Amino acid sequence: MRLSSFIRKSESRVSKDSFSALDALALCWTTYFSYEGVRFPIAAKELAFRPFADELWKRNQTFVPKETADFMDAFLHSPRYQDVVFLEAKEVRDEEKATQFFAFVFAVEDLIVLAFEGTDTSSLGWKEDFMLTYCEGIPSYDHATAYAKDVLSRYEGDVILAGHSKGGNVATYVLSALEDDARIRKVYSFEGPGFYRRDIFKAHPERQSKIEKYVPQGSIVGVLLSDETKLHIVRSYDFGIFQHNAILWPIRGDHFLAVRKRTLFSHGAESAINGWLEALSNEEKKRFTALFFDAFTRIGVDDFRPFFQQFLIRFPALSKVYRSMEKEDRALFRKVARTLFAESLTALLPKPKKKPA
């Protein structure tokens, strides 16, 4: 079964003592919905489902809207989360600074859960993701750290930090940045990528023991810029990048269905993409990011989900923008493509066996 089925079958209400990784993922996934017009605090049992479903389909905030709507229906009608309180939320969207930040604060009895939203389908969110490859800090780090400190100052009790995708990366960063982590019980990261600066826990290496990082067996996103965090590997029956959708991960009993090893494809993708990023200078990555998103802006794309649905229709316009670029900018695009292709061949082709001496 998957997360929606687990929630529907659960008859017991979640408590601070029974709170698990499945509950952390459920609360993280609610950040992908719009809550426009909702006044907090509000208990889960008081939320109406239909407005959220309609808003989800309108905004296309995830790449699996049908499954996410089904999840939210299960979440709002299951006894498990009836007493969870949505305390407050904070959102920052800044086109100029490439910031896509949203966080929810929940109360499970006197346990505080601070969940960070992952990347939505907007070009704004993806641009901030690209910045992870060449910046020591992205804008969301500052907002998340400041908000976590504010939450800790206003609420008592233990705190859990959690997030899916970029949200998991942000939650992990906050743990490293706090002056005092005594009240942080655990950090849950679901397919959160690593960091440009991989020694963020250099001053507090003991804090890493609080992190539970989950990735699917075919992980691509969760092993980007890989860090030293121990991985909990989950079986997934989906293909390639679709394994990133954590609400589709299989569950047995009250835990994710685990496997011992990642797939050869996942290891190859990790080697290829990280090798590709290391082969490009920071200036090249920064320039490519600016050109890449400017191209989409010029053809009126600010959400990638409908773009991919209409790819064949929209691609000619994108190709025209490429042809209009300066010669050196087109050369950079070709270099990026060649480097990725070369690193992919190196990583994925079988290695020749060494002859015995």
Domain presence at residue 268: no
DSSP secondary structure string, 211-224? EEEEEETT-SGGGT
Predicted confidence at residue 60, as pLDDT, reads: 46
The reply to whether 51 and 112 lie within a common domain is yes
Residues 200-244 pLDDT 10s: 999 999 999 999 999 999 999 999 887 778 899 999 988 888 899
DSSP-derived secondary structure letter, 258: B
Query: If we measure between CA atoms, which residue out of 19, 50, 3, 27 comes closest to residue 245?
Result: 3
Query: What is the identity of the amino acid at 194?
Result: G
270 assigned to some structural domain: no
The pLDDT value recorded for residue 61 is 56
Give the whole-angstrom CA distance, residue 274 versus residue 342.
Answer: 12
Question: Do 258 and 288 fall within a single domain?
Answer: no
Please report, as a single letter, which amino acid is at residue 323.
R
* Residue 273 maps to a domain: no
Same domain, 303 and 177: no
Helices 21-29 and 65-77: crossing angle, nearest 10°? 120
Global pTM? 0.91
Please indicate, yes or no, whether residues 56 and 81 belong to a single structural domain of this protein: yes
- Reported for 327-330, long-range contacts at CB under 8 A and 24+ positions apart, including other chains, are 329/287, 329/291
Compute and round to an integer the Cα radius of gyration of the chain: 21
CATH number assigned to the domain comprising residue 223: 3.40.50
The pLDDT assigned to 62 comes to: 65
Same domain as 140, residue 285: no
* Distance from chain centroid for Cα 19: 21
Say if residue 181 is in the same domain as residue 70. yes
Residue-level pLDDT at 357: 52
**Do 165 and 306 have their domain in common?**
no
- Strand (E) or helix (H) holding 167: helix 166-177
Q: Report the pLDDT value the prediction gives residue 241, as an integer from 0 to 100.
A: 85
Spans in the chain with pLDDT lower than 70: 49-63, 348-357
**Burial level of 325, CB count in 10 A (0-12/13-18/19+)?**
middle
Q: Is 15 part of a structural domain of the chain?
A: yes
pLDDT of residue 65: 74
Domain count across the chain: 2
The amino acid present at 141, given as its one-letter code, is Y
Domain span including residue 326 = 280-348
Strand-pairing partners, residue 88, are 105
Model confidence over 120-173: pLDDT tens digits?
888 888 899 999 999 888 999 999 999 999 999 999 999 999 999 999 999 999
